[in-house]
Amino acid sequence: MNPLCKPWEHAASRRQFLGASAGTLAFGALGGMISPQAAEAMRKKEKQVLFVWLDGGMSQLESWDPKPNTEFGGPFRSIKTTVPGTHFSELMPQSAKQAHRLCVVRSICTKDNAHSSGVARIQRGDPKNRGVPYPFFGSAIAKLMGPTSSKLPPYVWVKPGSGGFKTEDAGFLGPKYGSLAFGDGKPPEDLLRHASLTADEDAERNELRELLNRRYAAQRRPTYTEASSFVFDTAQELMKRANIFDTSKLAAKELDRYGRTEIGQHMLVARNMLEAGVRFVKVGSYGWDTHGDNFNGSASLVPKFDRAFAAIVEDLAATGLLEHTLVIAMSEFGRTPRINGHVGRDHWPEAWSIAMAGCGLKAGAVVGATNDKGTFVKDPGYDIGAVFHTWFQALGIDTKKVEYDNNGQPLPLAHDDMQSIKEALV
Amino acid sequence: MSDPKPAAPFAPPKELKAFPNDRQLCIARFSPCGNFLAAGAMEGTVRRWKVVEKPKLTVDIALPDETAKKPAPKAAKKPEESPVELVPLPHLTGFNGWVQNIAFHPKDKILFVADTWGKLAATDIEGDAPKPRWENATAHDGWIRKLAISPDGRHLATCGRDQFVRIWTTAGKLVAEHRAEEDVFAVTFAPEGKVVAFGDLKGTITMWDFEAKQLGRKFDAAVLHKLSRLQNVAGLRVLTFSADGKTLLAGGCEPAGGGFVEGAPALLRFDVATGKQLSEWRFGVAKDGFVLDAASHPDGYLVLVTSGQPGSGKIMFLRPGEKEPFFTNTAVANCHSVTLHPDGKRFAVAAMNKASNGNGRQLTKDGQYLGNNSPVHLFEIPTAQG
C-alpha cells in the first residue's frame, strides 16, 4: 500500500460505486446493488422534477446566503463548501458537501410579501395577468410532459397533514393536472384490494365502479370526470408499488442519513417515487414562518432540511438520476434582514435564494449576489418569472416556442417580459 | 433569592431615563462596584457605560395665586432630571456573531464575555481600551448560550449549542466538561459553587457536581418545550437558585407552536432536595413569549423581564410565595435583559424600539434600510418611605 494513502481511501462506498458505475455499466450488471426502479428510470432518462417547498419562508441568511459578522448576519458562522469561495450557513453542513452539485441563485427579487397571495403567486410563476389562474409548476409539467412511461401519476405531493387530489394547483389547465397528495407521506387507504377479497371479486367490484362512474360522468362536465378517472387509474398504478411508501425496511444508517424527521422520511418517499418514475414529486414542509425566535428556530429547522436535501441530492447523483432530474428547494420568499423585537425575521421578497441541482443546470454555480449586509440584490436580480423560464429550459421546454392553449387562447408558459437565467443553465 | 421579607409598603419603580443605543442588545449587567454598565450586542461587541451619579437638583418654584377661590398650591416641582447618567465608553471589540452573555467577577474588576461563535474571554473593565486578560476562541463549537460565574468568583460555567457544559477557572483553564443529550440553553451555579444546574432544549434540568464529576438530580421542565411540526421549540432560558440553594427556578416560555413562537412566559419553582415542582407561574397570554432574564433583589423578590411578539414586554416583581407579581410594567417593549444595581435601588432593562417588525421593504425617507435598536431603560425603586 502506498504509505501516503490511508486505508479508507481505497474503500469505495456503495454510493460512490453506483455513481461511478452509472455512466459505464449496464444496470442489469449491477444485480441487487441498485433498485430495479432506479435502474429502469436511469435507462429511460426521462426528465423528472423534485420540488422541495419550505412553506412560510426559510431565511436566506441562515442557509444559502450567510452574512456572518454583519449588522443583520445573526449569531451563526458560515462554513466552506465543496465549491471554493462559496460559503453556506453553519446550519447546512451536509448541503455544503453537495455544493459542487448545486446551482444557487442568491439574487431572487420578487414582489409579494404575504403568504396568502405569495404562495400561489410564486408557484404559478407570477406571469402577466391574463384573467386566468396559471397552473403551479407541478401542474404545468404534468400537462406539458405528462406521466413518464411508468404510467405513474405525473404530479405527486408528499406533504404533512391531509392528502387527496388537489385540483386548485392546476389553474386553467383543468383538474386533471392537479396534484395527488399523500398526507403524512402515507398511501391512501382502501385503494388496493383488501386481503379478504379474491381477484375475481375485486374485478367485479371494479366493473361496478366503472359502470357507476360512467353514469355519473354522463351528467357532468367531462373535465371533472376525466380527472377523477385519470387520478384513480394512475394512483392505482402507484399503489401497485406499495413499497414506495415503506421506509421501514431500510437500513438504520439510511434512515439516519435522511434524518428520522418528517422531512427526512418524506424525502425518502420522494426518492422512491422518483426512482419509480413519477414525473414531478413535490415535498412540502410547514413551519418555516419564523417571525419569532428565528435563530433558535432555524437551528432546529434548517439542519433537518439540510440533512434530507443533501441525502437525496447525493443519492440522485449516485444513481445517475440527477442527470435528468431537476431539483429545486425554495419558499415563497426569504426573511427580513432586520431582526424584530421577538428575535425573529419577517417576510422579505427583496433578496433571497433558491437552490437547484440537476438536469440542464450548471453544477457548482452561485448566480447573483446580495450586498454586504444582505439587504438587497446587487444587480437587478431575478423575479420568479425568470426562474420559471430557467426551469422549463432546463427540462428542454423552449418557452419561446411552446405555449399553453387555454380553449383557443394562447398563453405563454412564463412571464412574457422575462428570460431564463443564462448563468444557471448549462 | 431568599425567602421573602414581609411585604413593605411599595411604591412602584419609576423610569429615570431611556438611554438610546444604535444596536440591539442581548444582555446588560451592572458591575459589582456599581460604576459600570456593560451590554452584549447583536454585532460582536460589548457596549459599556460609566454610571455617573449627578447631584440631585430639585428646585421649588412658587406659583402665583391666580384665583381667589382656589387655594394656591404652595409649590410645584420642576420635572426632575435623571440623577444618574450612563456615559458611553468605547466598545469592546474582537467578538463574533452576537455577544449574548457577559458576567462580572463578583470581587475583581474583570468582565467575562461569551459570543455565539464559541469565544470565551476575560477583560479588564476600566479605561478606554481595557486589557484583555485571556481568551479562548474555541471554548465551544459555536453558540455559547449561557455563561455563569460562581458566587465565590472561582469558576465560570458555560453551555452551548454543541451540547457541552464546561467549567473553567476564572483564569481560563478548563476544569470539567459534560456532554449533554441536547442543545444546552441555561446553566447556573448553586450558591456553594461546586454544583451547577443546566437545562436543555427539551426542558430537562440536571444537577452536576463538577468537582466529583457526578450527575445528580433531574428536574422535569418539559412543559417548556414543544415539538411543533419539524421545529423543536425550546422554552427554557433562565435558571437560578434561591440564596439558600433550597429551590431552583426555571424561567422561559410554555410554547404554543413554532414559527411565530407564541407561548406564555412561565416560571417553574423546584425543591432541590426532592426534585418536586413546588409552583408554576404563567405570566400572560401566548403573545407574551419568554421570561428572558431574572435578577434577585436583596429584599427577597425577583425582578423578571419578558419579551414576546414585537411590542410585547413586561417588567415584573415577584415574591416567590405569592401567586401574582406585585408590580408589572408593560410600557417597555420586548425586554430582553434586566440587571440590578448593587445598591438595590435601581435597575436597567435592555429592551427594543417600538414597531420593530414588519414584512417587506421599509425604508426611511432618504432610502435607508435601518436595523432595530435597544434602548437601555434605567429605573429607580423608591424606598418604602417613598
Residue B161 pLDDT greater than 90, yes or no? yes
Q: What does A124-145 look like in DSSP terms, one character per residue? A: TT-----SSPPPPHHHHHHHHH
Span B44-63, mean pLDDT? Answer: 78
CB contact under 8 A, B371 and A338: yes
Residue B277 pLDDT greater than 60, yes or no? yes
Q: Which pLDDT value is given to residue B9?
A: 67
DSSP reduced 3-state for A184: coil
Q: Give per-residue pLDDT as tens, B329-340.
A: 999 999 999 999
B35-40: list long-range contacts, CB under 8 Å, 24+ apart: B36/B89, B36/B125, B36/B126, B37/B86, B37/B339, B37/B348, B37/B376, B38/B92, B38/B102, B38/B104, B38/B111, B38/B125, B39/B102, B39/B337, B39/B350, B39/B374, B39/B376, B40/B98, B40/B99, B40/B100, B40/B101, B40/B102, B40/B113
Q: What does A253-277 look like in DSSP terms, one character per residue? A: HHHHHH-SSHHHHHHHHHHHHHHHT
| Distance (Å) from the alpha carbon of A231 to chain B's nearest alpha carbon | 29
Instruction: Look up residue B236 and give its three cell numbers.
Output: 427554557
Considering only CA atoms, which of A268, A357, A367, A401 is closest in space to residue A48? A357
Choose from B229, B305, B312 for mutation: most chain A CBs within 10 A.
B229
Q: Which pLDDT value is given to residue B332?
A: 96
Question: In whole angstroms, how large is the CA radius of gyration of chain A?
Answer: 22
Q: Which pLDDT value is given to residue A296?
A: 98
Residue A227 pLDDT greater than 80, yes or no? no
Cα distance between residue B366 and residue A130, in whole Å:
36
| Distance (Å) from the alpha carbon of A30 to chain B's nearest alpha carbon | 37
Instruction: Look up residue B109 and give its three cell numbers.
Output: 474588576
Q: Which pLDDT value is given to residue A11?
A: 36
Q: Give per-residue pLDDT as tens, A136-195.
A: 999 999 999 999 999 999 999 999 999 999 999 999 999 999 999 999 998 877 666 777
DSSP reduced 3-state for B317: strand
Q: SS3 sequence, B23-52?
A: CCEEEEEECCCCCEEEEEECCCCEEEEEEE
Which residue in A has a C-alpha nearest to residue B354's C-alpha? A341
Of A160, A291, A337, the CB nearest to B259: A291
What structural domains does chain B harbor?
28-53+80-355+372-380 (2.130.10.10)
pLDDT over 90, % of chain B:
86
Q: Which pLDDT value is given to residue A226?
A: 74
Considering only CA atoms, which of B306, B282, B283 is closest in space to residue B293? B306
Domain boundaries, chain A: 31-424
Cα distance between residue B210 and residue B196, in whole Å:
7
Q: Give per-residue pLDDT as tens, A360-394.
A: 999 999 999 999 999 999 988 999 999 999 999 99
Q: Give per-residue pLDDT as tens, B344-374.
A: 999 999 999 999 999 998 899 999 999 999 9
Burial class (CB in 10 A: 0-12, 13-18, 19+), B200: buried
More confident residue, B54 or B120: B120
At which residue does the C-alpha cell 481568551 appear?
B135
Q: Which pLDDT value is given to residue A203?
A: 84
Residue A19 pLDDT greater than 90, yes or no? no
Q: Which pLDDT value is given to residue A235?
A: 75
Q: Which pLDDT value is given to residue B17?
A: 97
The answer to which of A107-116, A352-361, B3-12, B248-257 has the lowest mean pLDDT is: B3-12
Q: Which pLDDT value is given to residue A189?
A: 73
Span A346-364, mean pLDDT? Answer: 98
pLDDT over 90, % of chain A:
73
Q: Which pLDDT value is given to residue A239?
A: 76
Q: What is the largest CA-CA distance in chain B?
A: 81
Q: Give per-residue pLDDT as tens, A278-319.
A: 999 999 999 999 999 999 999 999 999 999 999 999 999 999
Of A285, A292, A340, the CB nearest to B230: A285
Residue B145 pLDDT greater than 90, yes or no? yes
Q: What does B73-111 look like in DSSP terms, one character per residue? A: PS-EEPPPPPSEEEEEEEEE----S-EEEEEE-SSSSEE
CB contact under 8 A, B232 and A346: no
Q: Which pLDDT value is given to residue A240?
A: 78
Residue A224 pLDDT greater than 90, yes or no? no
DSSP reduced 3-state for A294: helix
Cα distance between residue B117 and residue A6, in whole Å:
32
At which residue does the C-alpha cell 440623577 appear?
B83
Please say whether the structural domain A31-424 has been given the CATH code 3.40.50.720.
no
Of A293, A337, A347, the CB nearest to B261: A293
pLDDT bucket at A9, cuts 50 / 70 / 90? very low
Asked if residue B287 lies in contact with residue B309, where contact means CB atoms within 8 angstroms, the answer is yes
CB contact under 8 A, A292 and B259: yes
Q: Which pLDDT value is given to residue B75?
A: 57
Span B260-264, mean pLDDT? Answer: 95
Q: Which pLDDT value is given to residue A249?
A: 86
At which residue does the C-alpha cell 362536465 appear?
A221
Count of CB atoms within 10 A of residue B360's CB?
A: 15
Q: Which pLDDT value is given to residue A321?
A: 97
Q: Which pLDDT value is given to residue B383?
A: 76
Of B98, B234, B309, the CB nearest to A75: B98
Q: Which pLDDT value is given to residue B78?
A: 59
pLDDT bucket at A237, cuts 50 / 70 / 90? confident
Span A95-118, mean pLDDT? Answer: 96
Cα distance between residue B235 and residue B256, in whole Å:
10
CB contact under 8 A, B258 and A350: no
Of B23, B97, B358, the CB nearest to A346: B358
More confident residue, B143 or A195: B143
Q: Which pLDDT value is given to residue A144?
A: 96
Cβ-proximal residues to B357 (8 Å cutoff; 6+ apart), any chain = A291, A340, A341, A342, A344, A346, B309, B310, B311
Which residue in B has a C-alpha nearest to residue A70's C-alpha? B43
Span A324-349, mean pLDDT? Answer: 98
Q: Give per-residue pLDDT as tens, A198-210.
A: 888 888 888 888 8
Residue A241 pLDDT greater than 90, yes or no? no
Q: Give per-residue pLDDT as tens, A42-55.
A: 556 799 999 999 99
Q: Which pLDDT value is given to residue A35?
A: 63
Q: Which pLDDT value is given to residue A37?
A: 65
| Distance (Å) from the alpha carbon of B67 to chain A's nearest alpha carbon | 50
DSSP reduced 3-state for B222: helix
Count of CB atoms within 10 A of residue A194's CB?
A: 9
Q: Which pLDDT value is given to residue A145?
A: 96
Span B67-96, mean pLDDT? Answer: 77
| Distance (Å) from the alpha carbon of B186 to chain A's nearest alpha carbon | 14
* Per-chain mean pLDDT for chain A: 88
Residue B60 pLDDT greater than 60, yes or no? no
Q: Which pLDDT value is given to residue B237?
A: 98
Residue A254 pLDDT greater than 90, yes or no? yes
Q: Give per-residue pLDDT as tens, B288-304.
A: 999 999 999 999 999 99
Q: Which pLDDT value is given to residue B61?
A: 53
Q: Which pLDDT value is given to residue A7?
A: 33
Residue A320 pLDDT greater than 50, yes or no? yes
| Distance (Å) from the alpha carbon of A326 to chain B's nearest alpha carbon | 25
CB contact under 8 A, A72 and B232: no
Instruction: Look up residue B355 and give its three cell numbers.
Output: 414597531
